[in-house]
Structure 1
Amino acid sequence: MQTFKRIRPQIFPAKPTLTGANLPPQAGRVVIITGATSGLGLELARILYAAGATVYMGARNEAKANEVIHTITTSTAPSAGKLIYLPLDLSDLRTIQPFVSAFLASSTRLDLLFNNAGVACIPLDQPTAQGLEPHLGTNCAAPYLLTTLLSPILTTTAQNPSTPANSVRVLWSSSMVVDFLAPTGGVPAAELTTPNKDPNHNYAVSKVGNWFLAARMAKTLGEKGVISITQNPGNIYTPIYDRAPRLSVWMSKSIFYTPKEGVSTLLWAGFGEEITVEDGGRYGIPFGKWHPGPREDLLEAIREGGTGEAEGLERWCEEVTTEFR
């Protein structure tokens, strides 16, 4: 019954408070979106470009990125916004430092980092370039490294007198599976070195991991004026389901939403004026509200003096990414 109470508002979400239609102008703001060539990332890039932001698109496929840029810029009303592609492959930690270096050579500020890209349903025999379990490696270790390397510019942007308070943010993407599929404690310490063989289980663990990392980053970035939170955009049908069993996808069609609907959650998390540094580490749900009752075992994993799974994940991410800084 408790699980049903947790997932019901995520399956049948509240009406969005922020959409592309009522988002205020974003001229002068600089945004990074990972996974910006399809699904939610593409829709977010389209909206922020139209709003006048400078959007850096981190993605693997340059040809696809250039095609997306052409499509957005030719189909959108004239805008002061910019779309800039920089190569980034989150399944290979070696690409992250070059991405950050290229970005820092191009921009002197960073207002929003959307850690949007992710993978699902990847078997254990298809590890990352560094041999990591594909979900933990791509969905957790890579955005952890990216956020760590970008933390100095996020901090200087937040502390610039001209930057509005609570406007600099790091957004992490989670999933409803956190509430019903994640194991007790969310990210068991043993699975960091000996992963489970079930891809769905590992995906759920990585989505809890995104929340844990958002909470851990909030402790350090929050003191410097940067908000770090996670959000479940909703049951959005995107290319992440390309590897999912067709039967399960077909059975879920009735509760799927489109990226145009799901992007409202990201807009709320990124631009909702009611969100402050004090909300660091919290968990948002579709289409723009806080989770009404997160699992107690996951909250305990995050709390100082709790069971320690969140701290253990951060320590593991630190260990596996150190040589790529």
Structure 2
Amino acid sequence: MTSNPAFNALTDAATVAEAFPALIKDRFFVVTGGNSGIGLETVKVLAANGGNVVLCSRSPKNAADALESISASVPDAAARVTTMSLDLGSFASIKAFADAYIATNKPLHVLINNAGVMASPLAKTSDGFEQQFGVNHLGHMYLTQLLLPSLRKSGTAATPARVINVSSIGNFFFSPEGGFRFDDLSAEKHYGYYERYGSSKLANILFTRELGRREYDDGNHVVSYSLHPGAIASTNLSRHTSFGAVWDLLVGLFWKKGGFSVLRRETFKTIPQGAATTIVAALDPVVPPSAHLADCQLSDAVHHSASVELQEKLWKVSEELIASVVSQ
């Protein structure tokens, strides 16, 4: 349960924010992929309620356009938004961003790992990783690790700093039986558009739980949460379409054991409604550490393979992959 049991699939982000004004005003937030969709709505709502927000975008032009749209709709909010360049497909870009943020000496109360790629054609990041796994998981894991010193300094026992990982119900529908093809993470042998997406979204949840164990359970004032924002047709995540992608989608939705019962609970949402669960995860003080949320409440729609053993294995493999690049 969250602080307000009345929050649901149709609650919008602004309504959630109004419930926690003291946890937004004058606090510092970083939002990846903040230039569009639920990321932009998250930035807008936090800034409109007095938060200081860094809007991260791969494209400076998209970031500028996003800031202009905030200025047009909520003029007072724009002054509290800073745009910074961040390409989650490049460890060099991630390091440059983290160094620049830390150099400001500003606190960091909430890191919202929102950016993502969905069901894209096979492609590689600039560091050579399969794009969906590389951007959705490895990029955010590396960013979080670099920003942990700021998060640890900013959190307190009463109000820990937070890491929010925007996952998807795709973790349940699309990831393979064991969660990952550990023998083929580079997709040299097999590539399924939605399967790789599902694995990357499962990785967000496993990372959340392992991070929670390593931080909050170890005595640091940092908690982590994952969430499914909902089915939102109007974002640009679904811009990649092909016969193969559609086939993967249908297989995942209709052949997954228990899929019908999960799918039946889905409600198509507007962007403000889709951002609401992110705001709950970022602010609500009663949500238990390392929880997974959907429709503004706790959720158990997580792939059956999400064991502690798999969390530990993914963390170890991911650290090795990151080290293979950043140690060069």
Q: TM-score, normalised by structure 1?
A: 0.83
Within the candidate set 261, 264, 277, 2:276 is matched to 264
Unaligned runs of 5+ in 1: 1-11
**Does the residue aligned with 1:109 lie in a helix, a strand or coil?**
coil
Q: Which amino acid aligns with 2:192?
A: D
Residues 21 and 310 (structure 1), Cα distance of their counterparts in 2 relative to 1, 3 Å cut: same
State the alpha-carbon separation in 1 of the partners of residues 152 and 298 from structure 2. 25
Give the CA deviation at 1:272. 1.1
**Does the residue aligned with 2:143 lie in a helix, a strand or coil?**
helix
State the alpha-carbon separation in 2 of the partners of residues 245 and 24 from structure 1. 44
Paired position in structure 2 for 1:236? 232
Paired position in structure 2 for 1:105? 103
State the alpha-carbon separation in 1 of the partners of residues 305 and 287 from structure 2. 25
Within the candidate set 136, 153, 158, 1:156 is matched to 153
Post-superposition Cα deviations, 1:137-181, rounded to whole Å, max 9, x if no partner, equal: 11111000000000111001114xxxx724410000111122222
Paired position in structure 1 for 2:221? 225
State the alpha-carbon separation in 1 of the partners of residues 168 and 236 from structure 2. 15
Q: Which amino acid aligns with 2:293?
A: G
Does structure 2 conserve the Cα–Cα contact (< 8 Å) formed by 1:30 and 1:53?
A: yes
Aligned residues: 296
Does structure 1 conserve the Cα–Cα contact (< 8 Å) formed by 2:230 and 2:274?
A: yes
Instruction: Write out aligned runs for 1:93-132 (5 A).
Output: 93-124=91-122, 126-132=123-129
State the alpha-carbon separation in 1 of the partners of residues 101 and 30 from structure 2. 9
Alignment of 1:64 with 2:62, yes or no, is yes
State the alpha-carbon separation in 2 of the partners of residues 138 and 204 from structure 1. 13
Within the candidate set 40, 43, 49, 1:42 is matched to 40
Alignment of 1:171 with 2:164, yes or no, is yes
Give the CA deviation at 1:317. 1.7
Paired position in structure 2 for 1:75? 73
Post-superposition Cα deviations, 1:255-280, rounded to whole Å, max 9, x if no partner, equal: 5312111111001111112124xx22
Q: Sequence identity of aligned pairs in percent?
A: 25
Residues 200 and 157 (structure 1), Cα distance of their counterparts in 2 relative to 1, 3 Å cut: same
**Does the residue aligned with 2:215 lie in a helix, a strand or coil?**
helix
**Does the residue aligned with 1:149 lie in a helix, a strand or coil?**
helix
Give the CA deviation at 1:119. 0.3
Paired position in structure 1 for 2:136? 139
Q: TM-score, normalised by structure 2?
A: 0.82
State the alpha-carbon separation in 2 of the partners of residues 28 and 105 from structure 1. 19
State the alpha-carbon separation in 1 of the partners of residues 197 and 52 from structure 2. 31
Post-superposition Cα deviations, 1:39-66, rounded to whole Å, max 9, x if no partner, equal: 0100001101101111111111112211
Q: Which amino acid aligns with 1:183?
A: P
**Does the residue aligned with 1:78 lie in a helix, a strand or coil?**
helix
Within the candidate set 276, 293, 296, 1:284 is matched to 293
Q: Which moved more, 1:185-194 or 1:135-144?
A: 185-194
Q: Which amino acid aligns with 1:177?
A: G
Does structure 2 conserve the Cα–Cα contact (< 8 Å) formed by 1:120 and 1:243?
A: yes
RMSD: 2.6
Residues 245 and 258 (structure 1), Cα distance of their counterparts in 2 relative to 1, 3 Å cut: farther
Post-superposition Cα deviations, 1:39-96, rounded to whole Å, max 9, x if no partner, equal: 0100001101101111111111112211211221242153596111111011112100
Q: Which amino acid aligns with 1:290?
A: L
Post-superposition Cα deviations, 1:175-219, rounded to whole Å, max 9, x if no partner, equal: 112222221232242233556311111000000010011111111
